[in-house]
Homo-oligomer: A and B are copies of this chain.
């Protein structure tokens, strides 16, 4: 059992923070949260005691949309128009990727997630075997998201992945998903609806990221992407949509009625000039919210603190209202909301029996002082620098700048540079 003591604990169960609190973990689970009494200690032997030094223990962040292995294209093609970026720079480079590349590039992303207090990624990419290997070796949790496109012949592959990867490790799950409306045939979408029924599971996809995507979908089908997916029964069991920048009022109603998660990616949406998602409108309509970084070639970093600030700051600008999108919404979306959007029901908060996916935020840092509001400090002033420790499934993977994922970070950096150099 691991004991984290001398902490301010924010379990995210009821909005209350526990002063002078403790969190104990046993194996991969949370064993205790609160202020223990003598009786509680009597039978307990700890393999390790971690002094949080007054720091904040809270559920880790979950990254509800990413393409982790795109780390090799960080800062490779910035400040370009979207189409030129995608078709002339990104796609040709991705075509050169091998499984071995993806193994190393995923590890680079995992390092970065850990520095930002992220313990799980909802990851849409190819070569899942390499990706799964990198994650299991690192002790990092991932939910792979189906990424198929094109013709229905690809549905069998997705079905195979669902059976192959679910159950392969407690850290790994695979969920139904496809790339996007604009890369899918109508028949593929019909087939996705069949798979949703077969697995009784929600479906995830890129949805309404750009105005162009929505306009062209309406031209083709007379429906928005959301309306099209819903009409095909794709959302019968819920699911999640990535980006959700250009949603109509009717789309938002569908999200609410189907219990869909809107996964906002404000860093990517601003860097690629896609627009600002209607977060406040969605929230007020009762749509469930989650947060993702998107991939590191469009963002360019995998930093949940940046996403949190942008999530609220861009709403304030969009609505000309400094009161828009308060910090508490953001914090819930980045922890509980994202966990649920990924199907990680056991990783959403800190309570006995939940997965021990947690972080310690160092409050003895200038940007966390004074302590007028912990939640606001994290959302408006927080930085990766404040992450003192990141624990996934009960294992400390990052602590005070040191990584514990079984691979020397410098080997990973060297490999990442080798990969991009070999392609250029």
Residues of A within 8 A of B (CB): 71-76, 78-82, 85, 108-109, 111-112, 115, 267, 269-273, 275-276, 296, 299-303, 306, 309-310, 312-314, 316-317, 319-327, 364-367, 369-373, 376-377, 380-385, 401, 409-410, 412-413, 416-417, 419-420
Chain B residues whose C-beta falls within 8 Å of the C-beta of A323 in the assembled complex = 79-81
Chain B residues whose C-beta falls within 8 Å of the C-beta of A82 in the assembled complex = 322
The reply to whether B327 and A78 form a contact with Cβ atoms under 8 Å apart is yes
The reply to whether B364 and A410 form a contact with Cβ atoms under 8 Å apart is yes
The reply to whether B417 and A370 form a contact with Cβ atoms under 8 Å apart is yes
- Which of B78, B273, B417 is A319 in contact with, Cβ under 8 Å? B273
The reply to whether B300 and A381 form a contact with Cβ atoms under 8 Å apart is yes
Shortest Cβ distance from A78 into chain B, in angstroms?
5
- Which of B376, B413, B419 is A364 in contact with, Cβ under 8 Å? B413
Distance of A162 Cα from B314 Cα, bound (Å): 40
Distance of A373 Cα from B296 Cα, bound (Å): 14
Shortest Cβ distance from A270 into chain B, in angstroms?
4
In the A-B complex, the 8 residue pairs with the closest CB atoms: A75-B376, A301-B381, A111-B366, A112-B366, A270-B313, A300-B380, A75-B373, A79-B326
With known contacts A271-B322, A273-B317, A380–B72 Cβ distance under 8 A: no
In the complex, the chain B residue whose C-beta lies closest to that of A403 is B366
The reply to whether A413 and B324 form a contact with Cβ atoms under 8 Å apart is no
Chain B residues whose C-beta falls within 8 Å of the C-beta of A364 in the assembled complex = 409-410, 413
- Which of B74, B109, B115, B273 is A316 in contact with, Cβ under 8 Å? B273
Shortest Cβ distance from A62 into chain B, in angstroms?
18
The reply to whether B322 and A273 form a contact with Cβ atoms under 8 Å apart is yes
Chain B residues whose C-beta falls within 8 Å of the C-beta of A325 in the assembled complex = 79
The reply to whether B380 and A322 form a contact with Cβ atoms under 8 Å apart is no
Distance of A267 Cα from B350 Cα, bound (Å): 32
Chain B residues whose C-beta falls within 8 Å of the C-beta of A419 in the assembled complex = 370
The reply to whether A380 and B302 form a contact with Cβ atoms under 8 Å apart is no
Distance of A80 Cα from B270 Cα, bound (Å): 24
Chain B residues whose C-beta falls within 8 Å of the C-beta of A326 in the assembled complex = 78-79
The reply to whether B321 and A376 form a contact with Cβ atoms under 8 Å apart is no
Chain B residues whose C-beta falls within 8 Å of the C-beta of A81 in the assembled complex = 321-323
Chain B residues whose C-beta falls within 8 Å of the C-beta of A369 in the assembled complex = 71, 74, 108, 412-413, 416-417
The reply to whether A372 and B275 form a contact with Cβ atoms under 8 Å apart is no
Distance of A395 Cα from B109 Cα, bound (Å): 35
Chain B residues whose C-beta falls within 8 Å of the C-beta of A324 in the assembled complex = 79, 273
Distance of A385 Cα from B53 Cα, bound (Å): 20
The reply to whether A420 and B372 form a contact with Cβ atoms under 8 Å apart is yes
Shortest Cβ distance from A297 into chain B, in angstroms?
10
